[in-house]
Structure 1
């Protein structure tokens, strides 16, 4: 994966973005630094497929991603996010990576853990690793936090979501593409044929590989929707593995295509700005089609 070698280019673009933002009017600077990062866009998206059992019709999945706690996103803000998620009454909660900006330097674990415990979903809470969850020797820190708060960490593995009538769908989770070792065949190892599958991958661009496997949907984060976008130019900063698919809904492949959804995330990283990339919660509703 040659993209792992582009960190220097990514940082150069980030600093270029800083200069661009400072070139905005003072009002634009204030908005991008203080206003837009505090907003929240709640997106609704239907997941429709004939392999979804009818008993799953109407099941609600809420995804949040890329909180980057510790970098201009604090626990007061996170508490409000937890309350909003619970008010949506999700059946399943998905977290698609980058909980803390620097896990080994984060000093408020004792307050973070009870907040994550408060998230409730009757069919389970599931998460995967993002690049920041691995960074700074944070892998075990992140895993311990998530497992202690009743999240199931999917690391190149799958789990079945079952209804009482015997119907099931499968969630798959793979490792981060930048700092981990994603393994799609291993994640699919225990998935029976002809089951509806949803892949959690922090990196959206891995959808090009996932489209070659019996995977029907992929849900990702990582991109922050570009975080800073300029009209007629687009996103100024696209991290590695989020350059092809920066935000929203995509269809990949021709026969039995993969559907990809990329969430813009909650927090910020590297730059304390968001411009035309409002933070996002996504609500997915299953439909047997």
Structure 2
């Protein structure tokens, strides 16, 4: 029964994907065919189909296609994912407007039957979507720094204040490349942090772009008094190379906390959890927080990295003072943020529950389309003020 259900889900997904792309492609041809009549319909549909399935072609061909070809297909496919979203939002509105306009007797006949409006409506929609993609690309590359000042009612040895640089969801790979990573590292170092925390999705599935572009050397440039710490996100598991990713980050000077906890300078604790995806993709169930914090002196501040901001009752009950998370991307592309808001108690920003604090970042990079609309790529500066 599970196999039948899975097959049905795949068939429905293919039909929906095909239907959506046919609708967009048909509207595109109606515009292109009228504006540029010498373009052959077969050529148009072949080119459109390649663009529409380029992301799938890149995934299917990653083992035998040249890296450059796969990279271009991946990039084109990523942008098409974004374009498809906004075409699917705007085109139906245009069609509804056309329908109402054709039926509304109060609209002058000259406007209703104006061939210029009918011909250029599609071009106008195309230009709007292109504009969104250009803006989103520019916006995604400009990292915003968000600062949170949080009071923790605990003493932390001789430490009175702790400056934490926190970022997640870099999704380093062929699209978010080493040049982008260089800007990220520079931005972190500008904050002069005491410690750097990276709660997951730093590498996007595959290890090979990380190694080929020598990204490990970039991570060695991170500067902080207490070091750089990382815990896994779901994307580290998706490609089946989590062990290689972890080992490469360790070789770059990053301390990996996988269901583990360390005491720093006899003043505070940093704990890191495996992402919940480890059970599905690595066949390994993560430890409970009580197991991770067993033997911890809870009179000292406890800071937790957990990629997915779910089940906040657990860290609250376990005595965690600050949790840092990512994963949600704050939707990444408007209006997806309305979905993430419903899925999580907090999908972005800061929340305090009694003595428990959590900061969820929108992420410093992007997944899929290298664009952000309605939100920003983000690096967080969290300043903890301890009891004296």
Determine the C-alpha separation between the residues in 1 that align with 2:84 and 2:175: 19
Pick the structure with more strand per residue: 1
Deviation at 1:273, TM superposition (A): 2.7
**Larger Rg computed on CA atoms:** 2
Q: When the two structures are aligned, how many residues end up with a matched partner?
A: 272
1:198 to partner: Cα distance: 0.9
Task: Give how far 1:236 is off.
Answer: 5.4
1:123 CA drift (Å)? 1.0
Partner of 2:170: 67
**2:157·2:267 contact (CA, 8 Å) conserved in 1?**
no
Cα distance, 1:58–1:19 mapped onto 2, change above 3 Å:
same
Q: Which runs of 5+ in 1 are unaligned?
A: none
**What are the Cα deviations for residues 237-265 of structure 1, in whole angstroms up to 9, with x where unaligned?**
649x963321101123xxx4421110111
SS of the residue corresponding to residue 118 of structure 1 reads coil
| Greater than 6 Å deviation, 4+ residue runs | 11-17
Map 1:17-36 → 2, pairs under 5 A: 19-22=84-87, 23=89, 25=128, 26-32=130-136, 34-36=137-139
1:260 aligns with 2:260: no
2:370 to 245, 251, 272: 272
Report the TM-score when normalising by structure 1.
0.83
The question of whether the paired residues in 1 share the 8 Å contact of 2:237 and 2:277 is answered with: no
Q: Distance between the aligned counterparts of 1:46 and 1:282, measured in 2?
A: 11
Summarize the Cα distance change of 1:82–1:17 in structure 2 as closer, same or farther, 3 Å threshold: closer
Q: Does residue 370 of structure 2 align to residue 235 of structure 1?
A: no
**Whole-angstrom distance in 2 between the partners of 1:106 and 1:169:** 35
Does the 8 Å contact 1:104/1:137 carry over to 2? no
C-alpha distance 49-257 of structure 1, shift in aligned 2 (>3 A) = closer
Report the Cα offset of residue 107 of structure 1: 5.5
Give distance in 1, aligned partners of 2:212 and 2:174.
15
Say if 1:67 and 1:266, in contact at 8 Å, map to a contact too: yes
Q: In the alignment, is the contact (CA less than 8 A) between 2:143 and 2:378 conserved in 1? A: yes
Secondary structure of 2:374's counterpart equals coil
Q: Deviations over 1:175-229 (max 9, x none)?
A: 1012343321221113123221111100111323222211111110111111112
Tell me the equivalent position of 1:123.
226
TM-score norm. by structure 2 comes to: 0.63
Give deviations 1:46-86, integer Å, cap 9, x for gaps: 13112133732232110111111125311111111111211
The runs of 5 or more residues in structure 2 that have no matched partner are 1-5, 18-77, 91-127, 280-284
- Determine helix, strand or coil for the equivalent of 1:42: strand
SS across alignment from 1:219: strand
In structure 2, the partner of 1:244 is 345
C-alpha deviations, 1:27-62, integer Å up to 9, x for none?
Answer: 223212x21111111011113112133732232110
Distance across 1 between alignment mates of 2:172 and 2:317? 35
What is the CA-CA distance between 1:98 and the residue it aligns to?
Answer: 1.0
The higher relative CO (CA closer than 8 Å, separation ≥ 6) is in 1
Matched, 1:193 2:292: no
- Let me know the Cα RMSD of the aligned residues: 3.1
For residues 145 and 164 of structure 2, what CA distance do their matches in structure 1 show? 13
